[in-house]
Amino acid sequence: GFTLNAIFATDIDKDLPLDQLEFTYSKKTGRIKHVIFNNKIIATLRTDGGFALTIDGAELLLKTNKIKENCIIVRNDVAEFIKEGRSVFCKHVIYAGSNIKANSDVIILDEDNNLLAVGKSVLPYNMISEFNRGVAAKVRHSIND
pLDDT of residue 41: 92
**73 close to 81: Cβ distance less than 8 angstroms:** no
Does the pLDDT at position 110 exceed 90?
A: yes
Count CB-CB contacts under 10 A for residue 132: 9
What is the residue range of 95's domain? 2-142
Does the pLDDT at position 4 exceed 90?
A: no
Domain containing residue 15: CATH number: 2.30.130.10
According to DSSP, residue 11 is labeled -
Q: Over pLDDT 90: what percentage of the chain?
A: 58
pLDDT of residue 17: 61
Q: In what order do the strands lie in the sheet with 105-109?
A: 88-89, 135-142, 115-121, 105-109, 71-74, 93-96
Mean pLDDT, residues 115-130:
96
> How many domains does one find in the chain?
1
pLDDT of residue 5: 45
**Confidence at 1, pLDDT banded by 50, 70, 90:** very low
- DSSP lists the bridge partners of residue 72 as 96, 108
Note the pLDDT tens digit of each residue in 33-89: 998 888 999 889 888 777 889 999 999 888 877 788 999 999 999 999 999 999 999
Mean pLDDT, residues 12-36:
78
According to DSSP, residue 87 is labeled P
Does the pLDDT at position 6 exceed 60?
A: no
pTM over 0.95: no
